[in-house]
A = this chain, B = another copy of it.
Amino acid sequence: MLNEFSLIRRYFSRHKNSSDAAILSVGDDCALLAPTPGKVLAVSTDMLVEGRHFFAGADARALGHKTLAVNLSDLAAMGATPRAFTLALALPAIDEAWLADFSDGLYALAERAGCALIGGDTTKGPLTLCVTVFGDVDAHTALRRDAARDGDDIWISGTLGDARLALGALRDEWPLDAHALDAARRAMDQPEPRLALGAALAGVAHAALDISDGLAGDLMHILERSDMSARVDLDALPRSTLLARQPADIQRLCTAAGGDDYELCFTAPVDARARIEDAGARAGVRVTRVGTITAFNAEAHANAGAARLVWTDGRGQPVTPALRGFDHFND
């Protein structure tokens, strides 16, 4: 049986790319890391728990991909370029086939993203994965949540809702044929962090975040931190042809409040539209305008309960869909 140290060595020291990113890497008390001159480090951490963020028995290779992808997505949302990551994992037992597949999925994305494993921790416990990721970013052009301005367009990358469509089918909330479920499940299991788009938006867009808990809840973070309001066209939210074939109420729920999308939601001035379209084209990612940032009227909000986030239909008429964000404690 492998002990803890040989386990770490065998599965997480195979690739030597870590030496390119860090001065000192896996195997010491700390890794040593510095941002590229002129940049600062963007740092984010996410924890994934079995039964909460993924099903028990989830495919290990896909899980390796997703564990890193959700963290890289946070870098994309800042406009940062990946440099390195640490991985802490609790495993119920040492399963070498699982470890081989998990590390394959993890490293495939890490190498594609230029992101080196520089340290970690392994322990016994309920299956839990915690990644902390580091990227280079220019502190002056980083895409912050508090930077949305009155009149900005609101944009969404890619399409929304396929992951929620798969989750609902797996939870028996709605029917979905096997072929459609398979396609939707790929979106849930293999999200693609929008790194090239995020980097291209730095210095062009104003505010940005990645949609992990559903647009309705996540956009509110931009609005609250920027002290702005917004109007968003529910019917304009980009969706796959697969989702567009589902009933209208499922489409609205999945696009506006589905979690696990890992697309970018960002705001940009109207005169940047051509540059945004160009950034999307260069990154190979569709970008769609879905609404407008407006000034926040604190008085109307306090006196009349006016919402910060107003949903409209395709004709600009306000609608009040039954939506809620994905809350890890309340759903």
Contact = CB atoms under 8 A, between A and B. Distances in A.
Interface of A: 1-4, 7, 23-24, 27-35, 40-53, 74-75, 77-78, 80, 86-90, 94, 118-126, 128, 130, 132, 134-135, 137, 139, 142-146, 208-210, 221, 225, 327-330
A190 to B, nearest CB: 21
Given A28-B209, A33-B43, A124-B329, 14 more contacts: A3-B327, A3-B330, A4-B327, A30-B77, A31-B43, A34-B41, A43-B132, A47-B88, A48-B123, A49-B126, A50-B125, A124-B328, A126-B128, A128-B130
Given A52-B125, A329-B4, A42 B30 contact: yes
Q: What number of copies of this chain does the assembly contain?
A: 2
19 contacts: A2-B329, A28-B145, A29-B77, A30-B78, A30-B137, A31-B44, A32-B139, A41-B41, A43-B86, A44-B86, A44-B119, A45-B88, A46-B121, A47-B121, A47-B123, A49-B123, A121-B130, A124-B328, A124-B329
A68 to B, nearest CB: 14
Contacts of A208: 29
